[in-house]
Structure 1
């Protein structure tokens, strides 16, 4: 796991490693519940082979943004060697092979050029070029993305999905978790008793009610919101508070996808 050095006392990355060999030890969204099967079709499990021994670890979530590309958080990239990663799309139960999954090697890693390892500076976004395309088997879908610069209003309800901690130091479900989570507008999230100056306009804050939040293992996953008549991915899970994940006035912070549209499309078109 990569940790933010300058803000280590108040921030930790929402990205945990868990042993994986299709059966995975991992953790989930706090305050969530089992997702309905075949619902969040753009959700990805990003997995890492730390010892190059064909045993993969679920380290982060991700989003299908094109048949050859996955979007995730830059801090999820533990090595720039693409051979150490694979993605699983169509995943639901990490302990069980359901026949819906596609296991795809990563061919190339593209980290945003503005990422410097400091979460407070933002740019926590990366794209993974796959060795083989995602194919439509009925269990996957390419995510809709927001229009450039789009910002959601305060209190707008979105959904966080992932296999992250369900409580601080808590249990390890096998099923994809989902929870409703309300957007906290920048003018609130950037107040001193919230996230202050490290909450940038290129980020989306959501939660902060002390009940629902992302947590370790959710990093890189989508913030899905029903806007413009369709489900749209507005955020990439980036960071949360140290200690307890679900702290009042310390919402989960996402990279704002609408702030990076030009970069995303430049990569996809290349």
Structure 2
């Protein structure tokens, strides 16, 4: 859900309608926790549930595994900036040449 649609408890600056943030989770036992900041939020692809796509980056939350969703940076809103930063700071980054389009595979999440 969009950041400004998140429950009031998770919003530090609700009136700003920060478009690069979103909420996810809010299910008991399924949420970001302390130390997870910067970790990926990945979802299975609808076309192939054995492949995952990174959609967010853990930003912050209240508690761990509660009914209050955590707040994530929406990767789709930051993609241009992310690509620019990696391109400027890495000699090897070429997203158009990635074998699997940069998608994460289910086996990476097997032990989570």
The two structures have a TM-score, normalised by structure 1, of 0.27
RMSD (Å), alpha carbons: 2.5
1:236 and 2:57 aligned:
yes
Structure 2 residue runs without a partner (length 5+): 89-112
List structure 1 runs of 4+ shifted beyond 3 angstroms: 191-196
Give the structure 1 partner of residue 80 of structure 2. 262
SS in 1 for 2:80: helix
Sort the Cα spacing of 1:194 and 1:238 in 2 relative to 1 into closer, same or farther, 3 A.
Answer: closer
Once the two structures are superposed, the pairs formed by residues 209-228 of structure 1 within 5 Å of their partners are 209-227=27-45, 228=47
- Say which structure is richer in helix: 2
Sort the Cα spacing of 1:209 and 1:217 in 2 relative to 1 into closer, same or farther, 3 A.
Answer: same
SS in 2 for 1:211: coil
Q: Are the counterparts in 1 of residues 22 and 72 from structure 2 also a CA contact under 8 Å?
A: yes
Sort the Cα spacing of 1:233 and 1:201 in 2 relative to 1 into closer, same or farther, 3 A.
Answer: same
Q: Are the counterparts in 2 of residues 239 and 254 from structure 1 also a CA contact under 8 Å?
A: yes
1:253 and 2:71 aligned:
yes
SS in 1 for 2:22: strand
Structure 1 residue runs without a partner (length 5+): 1-184
Q: Which has the larger radius of gyration?
A: 1
Q: Deviations over 1:85-124 (max 9, x none)?
A: xxxxxxxxxxxxxxxxxxxxxxxxxxxxxxxxxxxxxxxx
Q: Are the counterparts in 1 of residues 29 and 64 from structure 2 also a CA contact under 8 Å?
A: no
Aligned residues: 82
- Say which structure is richer in strand: 1
Q: In the TM superposition, what is the alpha-carbon distance from 1:194 to its structure 2 partner?
A: 5.5
Give the structure 2 partner of residue 177 of structure 1. none
